[in-house]
């Protein structure tokens, strides 16, 4: 049970650290409030937003978990499409580094904790403080 808790904590920490790491015009539009988009003439029904997400690992259990999570998310938010790619752990670090160097990172990715400092040094992560209420921050493990 402790292993599972640690794994889940690392997973959600990694997601939090890399959300919107590959900022594209689509992800910029998605992060704006409804009022900001409407003032610029963009409404949620005009275009579908696509979020590219990478999940490290190809284990069938986690694939099923993430596939279900994405399916439920897209049902709740029909204007947002999630393109989910599974990256083998052994290839993840190199793929992230190459994508960061080429400015082709996904919008969201899981990463191994040992890669975090390197991704920060490459400016490949974005702080998420501005995306949620600070009361929500108490839900995170302090180290995250």
What CATH code is carried by the domain that includes residue 89? Answer: 3.40.190.10
| pLDDT reported for residue 140 | 80
The answer as to whether 59 is a domain residue is: yes
| pLDDT reported for residue 126 | 87
The answer as to whether 107 is a domain residue is: yes
| pLDDT reported for residue 94 | 94
| C-beta atoms surrounding 32 within 10 Å | 13
> Which SS3 state, helix, strand or coil, does residue 108 take?
strand
The answer as to whether 61 is a domain residue is: yes
| pLDDT reported for residue 112 | 85
The answer as to whether 143 is a domain residue is: no
| pLDDT reported for residue 84 | 96
Which residues of the chain register pLDDT less than 70? 1-46, 144
Residues 16 and 144 sit within 8 Å (Cβ to Cβ): yes
* Of residues 140, 134, 116, 143, the one with CA closest to residue 12: 140
Q: Tell me: the pLDDT tens digits for 35-59?
A: 554 444 444 556 899 999 999 999 9
| pLDDT reported for residue 5 | 38
The answer as to whether 40 is a domain residue is: no
Domain extent for 60: 2-30+48-125
The answer as to whether 56 is a domain residue is: yes
Q: Structurally, how many domains does the chain consist of?
A: 1
Q: What spatial distance separates the first Cα and last Cα of the chain, rounded to whole Å?
A: 20
| pLDDT reported for residue 127 | 83
| pLDDT reported for residue 35 | 52
Give the C-alpha separation, 83 to 81, whole Å. 7
The answer as to whether 97 is a domain residue is: yes
| pLDDT reported for residue 45 | 55
């Amino acid at each position: 049970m402790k292993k599972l808790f640690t794994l889940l904590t690392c997973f959600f920490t990694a997601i939090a650290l890399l959300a919107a790491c590959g900022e594209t015009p689509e992800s910029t539009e998605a992060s704006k409030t409804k009022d900001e988009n409407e003032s610029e003439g963009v409404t949620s029904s005009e275009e579908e937003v696509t979020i590219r997400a990478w999940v490290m690992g190809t284990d069938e259990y986690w694939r099923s978990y993430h596939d279900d999570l994405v399916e439920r998310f897209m049902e709740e938010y029909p204007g947002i499409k999630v393109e989910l790619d599974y990256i083998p752990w052994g290839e993840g670090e190199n793929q992230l580094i190459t994508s960061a160097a080429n400015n082709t990172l996904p919008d969201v990715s899981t990463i191994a904790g040992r890669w975090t400092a390197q991704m920060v040094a490459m400016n490949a992560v974005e702080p998420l403080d501005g995306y949620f209420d600070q009361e929500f921050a108490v839900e995170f493990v302090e180290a995250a």
